[in-house]
A = this chain, B = another copy of it.
C-alpha cells in the first residue's frame, strides 16, 4: 500500500502539470474504453452479482451493484460529460496590486492525491476517477468488496484511457485487494501520500472514516434536513415544497426529515400539510399539537427529532417562532441542508444567516442539495465540515490554490 501511495504521489505531480487538453483527451479516451470494454465489465459484474445474491444481500443492495448496457453507457457518458466541464485549474480567484507594484494572483491548483472509499456502487469507480483527473489530482480508489471484480474492470478501462492520452496510468489506482486492512492504511495517509479521503457509502463507513482518518475528510454523516414553514408562508407553496422535500426521493441525503410549522400559521397550515403528507403515503410523527390537529399522526419521541429516516416518515413540530425554529435546527440538525418557506424577506434573511448549515434555502425544496442542481456538473459527494469544501464537492472543491507574485525587482525594506 505504501508503494501504491508513492506511485500516486508521483503521478499526481505529472497530471498536475498536464494541460487541460490532455486531461480532457484522457477523459474521452476513458469513456471510449468503458464502451469498448463493456462486455468484460458486464461479465465481471455478473460474477459480483451472483456472489451478492448467494450471500443473501437485499434487493436494494443488488440493484445498486447491478450494471447493464444502459447503465454502463450512462457511466461512460458521465465521464465524457466531465471532460466537457470548464477546466478548474489555473483560474485566477483574486488578483490585486500593492503600492510597491507587486501584483498578486491567487490561482487554483490541484489538491494532490485523493482517496475515495466507496461501497457497492461500481459507477463511483469511474465518476470519482474522472473528477479527480479533471481537477489534476491522482486518485486512489478503494471499492467495496462486493463490487471488486466490476470495479477492477472499470479501473482497467480508466487506466487505458490515461495511457492513451500520454498520462501515467497510476493517476488512477484501484486498491488491488479486498483486504479490509487496506482501508486502515489509507486512513493513516500512506506515509503522507494521501491529501484527502472521500467516503461514499452508508453511515457506518462514513463514521469509521471520520473517526479513524488522520488526513482531512470530505463527507457528511447525516442529512437530517428541515423545512420550516414560517408564519408568512403561502400554503400552496409550502405544500409543494414539503411534499417534494420529503417524498421526491426519500433515500437521498437532501430529503427532509423534520417539518417545523410556525405557531403563527399553525391554525391554517398544520392540518392541511400533515394531511397532505399522510395522504401521499408518508407516516407523520408529530408533537402534541400535530396529533391534536390530525388524528392519523403518530406521537413523536425525542429520538425522532434527531433521526434521518431516509424513508416515508417525517417528524412534525410546531415552533413558537423563528428563534425556536433556528434553535431546534441547531440542536438536532446535521448542518447539511435546511429550508424556510416564507413570503417575509426579513425572516428569510435571518434564517439563511442564522442556520449554520452547508446549504440554506428560501422557498425551495431541500432536494436541490446536489452538485448537478448547483450547476457543478458532477459531484463526488456533499460535505458538512467547515474546512475547505462545504456542500456539494465538485471539481472546484477538489482544487487548492497558490499565490503567484509578479515583480520587477522589488526587495523588502
**Chain A residues with a Cβ under 8 A of chain B:** 13, 16-17, 90, 96, 98, 102, 104, 109, 111-112, 195-196, 214, 216, 234, 237, 240-241, 243-245, 248, 330, 348, 352-354, 356-365, 367-368, 370, 373-375, 386-388, 390-391, 400-412
Minimum CB–CB distance from A346 to chain B (whole Å) comes to 14
Query: 8 shortest A-B CB distances, which residue pairs?
Result: A364-B407, A244-B411, A386-B400, A388-B388, A367-B412, A361-B405, A237-B409, A363-B407
Once A98-B375, A400-B387 are accepted as A-B contacts, the answer to whether A412 and B248 lie under 8 Å apart by CB is: yes
A interface majority secondary structure: mixed
A375 to B368, CA, bound (A): 38
A96 to B98, CA, bound (A): 30
Contact A386 B195 (CB under 8 A): yes
* Total copies of the chain: 2
Once A195-B387, A365-B410 are accepted as A-B contacts, the answer to whether A352 and B241 lie under 8 Å apart by CB is: no
Residue on B nearest A218 in the bound complex, by CB: B387
Once A387-B196, A388-B387, A400-B390 are accepted as A-B contacts, the answer to whether A406 and B241 lie under 8 Å apart by CB is: no
Once A237-B409, A390-B401 are accepted as A-B contacts, the answer to whether A368 and B248 lie under 8 Å apart by CB is: no
Contact B387 A352 (CB under 8 A): no
Once A216-B387, A368-B410, A411-B241 are accepted as A-B contacts, the answer to whether A402 and B363 lie under 8 Å apart by CB is: no
Chain B residue numbers with a CB within 8 Å of A104 are 374-375
Sample 12 A-B pairs with CB under 8 A, ordered by A number: A13-B330, A13-B356, A98-B373, A102-B364, A195-B387, A357-B402, A360-B402, A360-B403, A361-B405, A364-B410, A365-B410, A387-B400
